[in-house]
Structure formats: structure tokens, C-alpha cells
A and B are shown apart, each in its own frame.
Chain A
Amino acid sequence: MALLLISLLLVPAIIAQDTNSWNDSHSLAWEYDFETGYISTTPLFADEQIIVRTSGNSEPAVTAFDTNGKKTWQHLNPSSTSNDMSPLFHVQAGQGECGAWPEMVLVGWTNGLIEALKPSDGEVFWSIQTEVIGWGVTGQFALDGEFVVVPTRQGIGQYCLADGQQQWWTQTGLGWRNGVAVDNTGYFVGDEAGQLWHINRTGAATSHALQLGKIRHPPLLTNAGIILHTQQDSRGTIAVVHSSDGRVLQQFSTGLSPAIPSLRGDYVVTGDSSAIRLLLCTNECEIIDEVPFHTNGEIGWMDNGTILAPSNTPNSAWGLFTFDAYENLTFESLEVGIQGYGTAAPLQYLVGGTTFTAFGNDQSLLRVYSDLDLSESLSNNEFDWGVQGLIFAMFLLIGSSTVSLLNGKFDWFLRTSSLLFLIILLLIIPDLSMQWSQAFDEKFPATSPSEEWNEQWPDTWLGTQIVIFEFDGEEHTAGGFVGHDTVFSLTLTACDELGFELSSESTEIGVYVNSIAGVESNGWEFTVDDSKGIVSADQSIVESTSIIRWYLA
């Protein structure tokens, strides 16, 4: 026992050598506070500018900054009222049979508009309107020679880069975050019904019903087959699918709410609410390693081969994953000074030999870090008295426990070790309870009656997420939302849409909603699909068609 305690005493010393290595070698270069709106997709670096899209507020926008963080232009689209999840798409200047085009940033909006902006000044080079069925464009574009291939809400279209002229458009299934992949036979896209579509270059479509859940990312094309990370009600599945006949070749069960998987060479990285996984896909795919982490949006490969992913949790630290020579993933938590939910992968860009990394999430704050010389980083280190004091106290308790045990003072051993255990438990309880709740929900999924559809609601809300607020004897309803994983995230969006102010506080056991629309009373409670919420709103998982009802306690 004494040896164990002595070993424990030494563990922090070993860990201390490696902790915060990224934070030690990077410093904040500049930041910009948009004040409202979400940064839901990765920023873009084009024409020596950092271009960022924000949405979910009254002024959805694409905003450009120079490398010193000065705003250079902003392009608004107030008609795009939902969360814009389609990543900005960079196109280099070129020419083809339908004409020439300059360097452009293509923007897909949830009101169906597609715009080609010049990165130098944000001027619209061309724009086209596509279909809107509740939502418009939410998926990732793909480039195919002189054409851009765009996934619309219920189809896929090919457009000329020079003038935005539509070459053809083909109907597929209802899609969300339905990015496109291109190979030499044509295009692949998935839909909400779990169908994988293949569309050839003339627009002829065939589909394969995989029955594995929703496909909400661009399919990844590997030597082993097409990689999909599908979303079911209570879990996810990584599937390897034959590209010609749609046969499912391999399946791996995963956690809830898959992120957008990312491919580099033969390596695929996937994420969900439980873990980040690294797969090697040569002739077939195998999971090489996995690390517990909660991510549901984009995952970014950095130039040095590391992986950066936003944690989609209230305390929102970004995860840095390093893949070592022994095929192990190591995880480091990055503190970049932004708290809150996040789905946007960081952007890495190079200016004058210095690498910059831009972070943004639902807190509408963009923070750009630059890498540093180690000597500079050491001089910038700030001494955190609170943290150091706690570490010192814990060392003292470990030491006291050891000495007490060695001297046979069992009562003092009990005192010091129990206090140490209590402190450790208090430090880990927020994460522990969240992981436990998620694991519990996955193991014992709730089966409950659904809240009834109201015939007065618009048809465009069918199959989407809906939020109802009950107060003052009235119901205030907002719907048509997709992609939210938690009651809290969905509620924030609904409040934005209805113009309600939501006041909440973060506690050790989750977010507590104090007031909605200025109404406080005895507190707020909620149901998810007519089933009473039994954990905090930020820990309550919602499905893609959930109906949330908030009412006064």
C-alpha cells in the first residue's frame, strides 16, 4: 500500500512534463468577438485572409479578416435563418468550356442560396437559388473539373464555376449535412433515410438502402470501400460499403451522434459522443486505436499529421490527437479560452513562416493562436496560484497518507487519504457524471410515447426538431431544426428564433436554466418526446425528430 502511494506521488511529476505542451508552445495572436451567432464550420484561408461564417442569429454572415485580425469585409444573408452547416468552399481561379472564373469562396446557405464570393472584397461573382424544404443547403460541396457539385436539401446538382449555370439537378433523398464525394464514376451522397446514392456525371442516380441510419457527411472513398459513419437513434455505426453494389462489407458499432469523419491517406478518423477512433483502411478497415472524447462536428487533420477536434460539450476544450509511430493515439486537451459547444474544426494557415491556428465555436468568438519559440513561451507562462495550491495540497495529502501508513498511524492515514479521494472525486465528477449518463442512456435507451404532432405546425417541420415553451397560458413553438444533440443546444436555437432571452448558469452537475423570456417563477422543467427530463438540459440527448416542451415547475 505504501509503495502504491509513493508511486502515486511520482505520477504527477511524470505527467507534468508533458501536460499543456500545445498551450506552452502557442500564444494568442488576436481574437474577434462576433457577439452573436455560431461559428459552426471551419474558417477558410484565402487570398491572405481568414474567412469565417457565422449563423444562427439575425445577421448570418461571411466575414473576412486580414492576418492581423482586422475586419476587411462582411457579406450578409439575413434570409438564412437557420444554422448554416455547409462549410465554406475555396476554389482557385481557372477556366473551362463554360468560361473563366477568379479565385472564389463558395457559400451554401440554409435558405437555398449558393453564392460565389471574391475573397479580396466579398463581392458576389454569381449566385443561384436552389430548393428549400424546411432547409436549403447544409452539406459540403465538391469540385469536379470546371464544375462544382452541390448537395441541395433533396437532391444534387452540377453547376458551372464560371457563371453558376446549372448543368443538371437530380432528386435524391432528404439530406442534412449531406456532403458530396467525387470519384471517376461520378458522385456519392447519403441521405436521412440511410440511402447511399451514386450519381453519374450525366445526373443519372441509383441508390442503395443500407438500413444503418442517417448519413450526415460526405462519404469517404478508400481502397477498402466507401466509409460511412451512420447515425441511429441510440448508437452509431462505421460501415465499409462496396462502391459498386452497395454491399456492406464491414461494420463497427460506435457511440451516439457521429461527427464528420475525415480521411488522410489510408487513415480515417471518426468521432462521436463517446470517442475519437482511428482506422486504417487498406484492403479492409481496422480500428487502430480510440480515445474517449465527445465530438459531433468537423474533425481536422493538421499539416503536421495531428488531429484537432472540438468538444461538443458545455466546457468545450478542443482535443489534440497525436498518432505516434506505435500506432497509438495520444490525447491532449487544449485550452483556447472559449467555453461552450463547438462543431467547427480549427483552421491552420501559414504566414511568414509562422503557423497560425484559428478556433471558433458556438460562443461567436474567434481566437487565433500562433506557434512560438519555446524560450518565448516559457517567459509567457503565467503562474496559476489556485491550481498550484491545489496540486501542492494534494501532494501534501499523498505524502501524509504514505508517512501515516508507514508509521502505523492508521487513523491519520484514513483522514488524509479520504480527503485526497474526496478532492479527486470532486474534480472529476462533472466529466464522470456526463460520461456515466451517456453510457447509461446508451445501455438503457428510454422508450417513451412521443409528443403528438400538431396539425397546425408547418409541414416543413416534419421530421425535424421542435421546441415548445409554455408560459402565460400560451404555447410558443419553434421548429424545423436539425442537427442538435442536446436539449440545451436545441433550446438555445429555438430561443434565438423566437427572440426569447435565455438565462442559465453552469453548475457542477450541468446547466441550470434560470429563466426563459424573462419568466423565472419556480424554475423550468422540460420533457423530451413527452418523457420528463431527468438530467440537466445539456446532458439530455435529443433525436433528430424530438419534440421538447419547456414548462414552469
Chain B
Amino acid sequence: MFQSMGVHGPALSPLASLLLDVVLLGCAFWLLAKPTKRPIIDSLFLMSLVLSVSLLRVVMQPIPNVQPVTVAALLVGAQLGARRGAAFAVLVAMTSNFFIGDGWWTLFQAAGWASIAFAGSRLSLVTTSGLNLRRACVASLIAAFWFDLVVSFSILDGTISITEFITYLGHGLPFDFLHMAGNFTFVVWMGNWFSGLLEEEPTLDEIEFAAVNGHGIDG
């Protein structure tokens, strides 16, 4: 399932690349446009998170298929919800690929990480007592395989038969295990810290709103 050498998927023209970027950016902004307006600090936080994780991915590029973004997407989805998790995934894929190499595969990477963020938001990885480490570990292992599978679809450009595609997946299995091992290591080392970093503290307005509402009910 790993994207092997010599297979890049269809090559994109400059116009197609531009359209792809516009579509991905549009998705990200649509996902971020919440019904209720969020404070500017939230947006700044998310942007800094996107930049940090993108930088981490670029720096770790020489290490084959160790993908910190997968675990980050999982935990962002778990803490900040599906919409912001998916937006985070799309923006990280775009930003990091700007340095690593942009192309048709960016779409599949964005889709893979966005789906993982969505799964993270639905798996109850975070409880009142913090990150459920066991559940996060299992989710990160499955996420590695899922992401590699989704990205592998990028080679289907009409010239590859099903048999060849299965052979391609088979060849990549050692790298899938490497992705799993990397994810597991990230979760056990940094899962709790990263999850805590993302934990939303209520603002003063929200505390006041909740308190007033509470009094109203009491009264």
C-alpha cells in the first residue's frame, strides 16, 4: 500500500494542479466555516498546529513511511471534532506537499487523513479523564493501514489491472508495518501530551454564559 518508486499516478497539468489546490482549499475553508463564529485565537491555534505538523512531516520525510500526521489527524479529530480535524488534514497535506512534492496523490493523502480525523471524532478516544491510550493505540494501528490503502488508490489511472494493484499492495506491506510501528510510537510517547494540548478550555464568555443559563434554570 506504500507509494512505491516508479508509480506516481496520473501527471497533472498546471491548470489541473491549480484546480486541485482550489478544491482542497475550498474544502478546508468550508469545513472551518462553523455556524457560530469562533474567536480569532482558535483560528490562529489551528494554523500554528497545521504549520508545526507540516514542518514535522517535512523534517521526517527521509524516514520511510513514518507519518506523524496520521496520529495528529486522529487526535485533532478526537479533540476538535470532525470538521476541524478534516480541515487540519487537508491543510497539512497541502502545506507539507508544497515542500515535499505536490500532485495527484495530495488529493488521496488529504482524503486519507481527513477520514482518519473523522474516525477519531467518532471513536470516543478522549474521555473526561483524558486520552484512552489503549483505544488510541488500536486506532492508530488501523489508521496506518487505512491511510496507506487510500493513498494507494492514487495509482489507479486506468493502466493498472486489479491483479497488478493487489500485487502493488502486497509489495508495500513491510512499509505498512513501518507506518503502524511509527504511529504506535507516536501515540505512546506523545499521545497524552498532544491530546492535552488540543483540549479546549472554555472561554470567559462561555463560562459566564453557562453560569447565567444555570442560574436561569435554577430560578
Contact = CB atoms under 8 A, between A and B. Distances in A.
B216 interface: no
A531 B181 CA distance: 32
Contacts of A411: 133, 188
Contacts of B160: 532
B177 to A, nearest CB: 7
A440 B163 CA distance: 13
A58 B64 CA distance: 38
A446 B170 CA distance: 12
A532 to B, nearest CB: 6
Contacts of B164: 446, 448, 531-532, 534
A422 B188 contact: no
A533 B6 contact: yes
Interface residues of A, number: 41
A81 interface: no
Contacts of A537: 5-6
B5 A415 contact: no
Given A411-B188, A510-B5, A525-B8, A534 B178 contact: no
B6 A509 contact: no
B36 interface: no
A509 to B, nearest CB: 6
Contacts of A98: none
B122 interface: no
A386 to B, nearest CB: 15
Contact of A532 (B2, B7, B66, B173): B7
Contacts of B4: 509-510, 534-536
Interface centre among B6, B8, B175, B177 (most CB of A within 10 A): B6
Interface string B4-46: 1111100100000000000000000000000000000000000
Contacts of A426: 63-64, 66, 178
A508 interface: yes
B174 interface: yes
Interface in A18-52: none
Nearest to A530: B159
Interface stretch (A193-201, A213-221, A430-438, A452-460): A430-438
A492 to B, nearest CB: 15
A523 B64 contact: no
A534 B175 contact: no
Nearest to A424: B181
A540 B171 CA distance: 11
Contact of A418 (B5, B8, B184): B184
Contacts of B8: 522-523, 525, 553
A415 B178 contact: no
Contacts of A523: 8
Contacts of A500: none
B7 A533 contact: yes
B170 A509 contact: no
Interface string B72-96: 0000000000000000000000000
Contacts of A512: 5
Interface string B169-204: 011011101100110110011000000000000000
Nearest to B189: A415
Contact of B188 (A414, A447, A532, A535): A414
Given A411-B188, A415-B189, A534-B171, A422 B5 contact: no
A421 B11 contact: no
B6 A535 contact: yes
A512 B11 CA distance: 17
Contact of B178 (A425, A446, A448): A425
Contacts of A552: 11
B5 A535 contact: yes
Given A425-B177, A509-B64, A446 B7 contact: no
B168 interface: yes
Contacts of B64: 426, 429, 507-509
A12 B177 CA distance: 24
A298 B177 CA distance: 36
A425 B133 CA distance: 23
B167 interface: yes
Contacts of A540: 6
B181 A535 contact: no
Interface in B139-162: 155, 159-160
A526 interface: yes
A440 B2 contact: no
Interface of A: 411, 414-415, 418-419, 421-422, 425-426, 429, 432-433, 436-437, 440, 444, 446-448, 507-513, 522-526, 531-537, 540, 552-553
Given A422-B178, A440-B171, A537-B5, 11 more contacts: A411-B133, A426-B63, A426-B64, A426-B66, A429-B175, A436-B171, A446-B164, A522-B11, A533-B6, A534-B167, A535-B171
12 contacts: A421-B181, A425-B178, A429-B64, A433-B174, A444-B167, A444-B170, A446-B167, A510-B4, A524-B6, A531-B164, A532-B6, A553-B11
When A and B form their complex, which 10 residue pairs have the shortest distance between CB atoms, in order from nearest?
A: A536-B5, A533-B6, A534-B168, A418-B185, A508-B64, A414-B188, A433-B174, A553-B8, A422-B181, A422-B185
